[in-house]
């Protein structure tokens, strides 16, 4: 399950023992091995309502979740089941089954609220399972939804208006599916047939009246309408009329169930498989298995500390882990691609540097795609430093390969010369000119050898310097030359060596210029991609706010139609506040981008670039 998923038996993710929550380390290990995006489906509801049966149907396996049809609730805490997604390739379906709400055996009712809250925060689709119709009692039992904004903070430094921060809550909250079990009513209203979704929408209409009980019963309706814009309803008939079978559902085969129930269950599962979205945060941060484990641990640790889970802090904790992984993934891609594409030694330094620029660009793209909330570009700078070190390693290795290859070529080309020197071929009158001719032939042949690399001239000069003593000896022994001719020859040799030294200096200067040019390209590429990422994040934030505005406008219209002027006016104020935030976000990009961009440039490039 290193990069994918595999079918596994259910395991407790969040244990609930003696009213104390604890994340199971074994479950975290399983999630840590899932690098795929996850679709998280959580189910919650009163105990003994058949929640686990739906989980088993979604898992497509024989019942493995303890079904809890006995008097004591079997599912304690939150149980997890990871299976390959049946219709989304390269995704893992994570099923979360929560212990039954409202169990009289529990000592602290607050425990139910935390289990409910965790299920909402961890899922991309939240299934609320209840028996019968959506009536006053059913909505009263769903009081947990009204506590969400008290049990969760969106920001680490809350403001007085945070409770109305619908956009932020909605960016974390899942889609809602209400499953009505043992439903016996006809789906119709005013004498016409209606869908289950229309039935839910009608049930969520506010009840007129100022009576405190009415106001209290309206609260779940308001919160569901406000924070769960995407909601659906499914009705399921009783599985069978045989009470004995109902008491032993874990042993009942599919054939023994009511045909209507079978069809309804099939449609329910198909909807979840088709429409359940990948778990995301703020619609841009894709959650993988290991990310889900990080969120679960962060939330539970905060609850156990006595504090209220903070969405912003959870994202920060997740960002630390995911950004570190993004740096590693990007750096590994750079190393792998450089190793695969580079044929060392390269003919020129520029050839290797051009390849470096290409591979670095790809690495930065990978980092940008997999990172988020990289405040002050800490992780991007770390990636730059790692890539720079690995680039230097490739440059050094390239030089070493060039030296080895050139030395091998010169050994082979100079072998006949060495034999002639050993035989004394040049220790004769006129031998010096013969020696120069032989050396000239070696140099010409050496220059014709392809892809010697950037150390070609340096290795040749070292070879020539190594032959200096032999050359001087042959020169002095050559009786065919006069003293004047020998002095001129010695002077010519010195001039040649000085010229080669200057060539090496010019070559090193050129290489340094090419390195500086590549470094500048690196910085510019980092800034370009950072600019694009900042712009995408700003545009995404704007889309979230606009969707929230659209949703609130819809709610306000419904409230006006239903005659709730007071609530409509309250929503109007929220809408105006949201419009102002949208306006500020639209103005944010052109007005503050230059300042943010310069700050980021200063962090990435360092002060030397601005001197």
Q: Residues near 374 by Cβ (< 8 Å), separated by ≥ 6?
A: 319, 323, 380
pLDDT-based confidence at 605, cuts 50/70/90? low
pLDDT-based confidence at 398, cuts 50/70/90? very high
CB contact at 8 A, 413 and 460 = no
Question: Hey, what are 256's tokens?
Answer: 């023994």
How many angstroms separate the CA atoms of 429 and 452, rounded?
Answer: 36
Beta pairing partners, 234: 179
Return the closest-CA partner of residue 530 out of 378, 322, 356, 406: 378
pLDDT-based confidence at 163, cuts 50/70/90? very low
Residue 530 has pLDDT above 50, yes or no: yes
Question: What average pLDDT does the structure give for the chain?
Answer: 86
Phi, psi of 155 (to 5 degrees): -125, 155
How many angstroms separate the CA atoms of 268 and 55, rounded?
Answer: 11
The string of pLDDT tens digits covering residues 174-213 is 999 999 999 888 899 888 999 999 999 999 999 998 888 8
Question: Hey, what are 109's tokens?
Answer: 């009712």
Question: Is the whole model's pTM more than 0.85, yes or no?
Answer: no
CB contact at 8 A, 555 and 223 = no
CB contact at 8 A, 370 and 316 = no
The string of pLDDT tens digits covering residues 239-292 is 888 777 777 666 677 778 888 988 999 999 999 999 999 999 887 889 999 999
Q: Rg (Cα) of the chain, in Å, rounded?
A: 37
Residue 104 has pLDDT above 80, yes or no: no
Q: Which of 247-256, 397-406, 579-588 tops mean pLDDT? A: 397-406
More confident residue, 80 or 9: 80
């Amino acid at each position: 399950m290193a990069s994918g998923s595999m079918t596994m038996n259910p395991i407790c993710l969040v244990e609930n023992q003696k009213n104390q929550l604890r994340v199971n380390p074994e479950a975290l290990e399983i999630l840590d091995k899932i690098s795929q995006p996850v679709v998280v489906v959580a189910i919650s509801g009163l105990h003994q309502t058949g929640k686990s049966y739906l989980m088993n149907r979604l898992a497509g396996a024989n019942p493995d979740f303890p079904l809890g049809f006995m008097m004591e609730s079997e599912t304690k805490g939150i149980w997890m089941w990871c299976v390959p997604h049946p219709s989304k390739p390269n995704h893992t379906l994570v099923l979360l089954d929560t212990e039954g709400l409202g169990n009289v055996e529990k000592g602290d009712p607050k425990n139910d609220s935390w289990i409910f809250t965790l299920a909402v925060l961890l899922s991309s689709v939240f299934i609320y399972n209840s028996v019968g119709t959506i009536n006053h009692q059913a909505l009263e039992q769903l009081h947990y939804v009204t506590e969400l904004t008290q049990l969760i903070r969106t920001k680490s430094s809350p403001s007085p208006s945070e409770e109305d921060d619908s956009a932020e809550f909605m960016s974390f909250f899942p889609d809602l599916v209400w499953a009505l079990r043992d439903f016996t009513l006809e789906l119709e209203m005013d004498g016409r047939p209606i869908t289950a979704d229309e039935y839910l929408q009608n049930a969520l209409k506010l009840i007129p009246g100022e009576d405190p009980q009415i106001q209290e019963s309206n609260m779940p309706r308001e919160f569901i309408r406000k924070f769960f814009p995407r909601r659906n309803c499914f009705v399921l008939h009783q599985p069978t009329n045989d009470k004995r079978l109902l008491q032993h559902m874990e042993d009942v085969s599919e054939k023994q169930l009511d045909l209507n129930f079978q069809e309804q269950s099939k449609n329910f599962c198909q909807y979840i498989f088709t429409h359940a979205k990948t778990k995301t945060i703020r619609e841009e941060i894709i959650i993988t298995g290991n990310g889900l484990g990080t969120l679960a641990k962060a939330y539970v640790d905060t609850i156990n500390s006595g504090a209220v889970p903070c969405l912003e802090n959870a994202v920060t904790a997740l960002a630390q882990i995911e950004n570190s992984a993004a740096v590693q993934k990007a750096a590994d891609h750079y190393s792998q691609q450089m190793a695969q594409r580079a044929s060392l030694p390269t003919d020129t330094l520029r050839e290797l540097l051009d390849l470096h620029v290409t591979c670095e660009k790809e690495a930065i793209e990978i980092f940008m795609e997999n990172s988020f909330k990289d405040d002050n570009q800490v992780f991007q700078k770390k990636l730059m430093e790692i890539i720079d070190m690995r680039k230097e390693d490739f440059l050094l290795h390239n030089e070493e390969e060039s030296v080895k290859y050139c030395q091998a070529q010169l050994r082979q080309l100079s072998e006949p010369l060495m034999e002639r020197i050993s035989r004394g071929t040049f220790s004769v009158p006129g031998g010096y000119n013969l020696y120069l001719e032989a050396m000239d032939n070696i140099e010409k042949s050496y220059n014709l050898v392809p892809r010697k690399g950037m150390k070609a001239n340096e290795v040749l000069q070292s070879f020539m310097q190594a032959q200096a003593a032999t050359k001087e000896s042959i020169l002095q022994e050559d009786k065919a030359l006069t003293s004047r001719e020998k002095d001129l020859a010695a002077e010519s040799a010195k001039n040649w060596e000085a010229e080669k030294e200057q060539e090496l200096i010019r070559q090193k200067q050129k290489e340094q210029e090419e390195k500086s040019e590549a470094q500048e390209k690196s910085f510019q590429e980092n800034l370009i991609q950072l600019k694009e990422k900042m712009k995408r994040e700003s545009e995404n934030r704007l889309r979230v706010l606009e969707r929230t505005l659209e949703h609130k406008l819809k709610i306000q219209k419904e409230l006006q139609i239903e005659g709730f002027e007071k609530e409509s006016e309250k929503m109007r104020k929220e809408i105006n506040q949201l419009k102002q935030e949208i306006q500020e976000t639209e103005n944010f990009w052109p007005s503050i981008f230059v300042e943010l961009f310069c700050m980021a440039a200063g962090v990435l490039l360092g002060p030397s670039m601005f001197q």
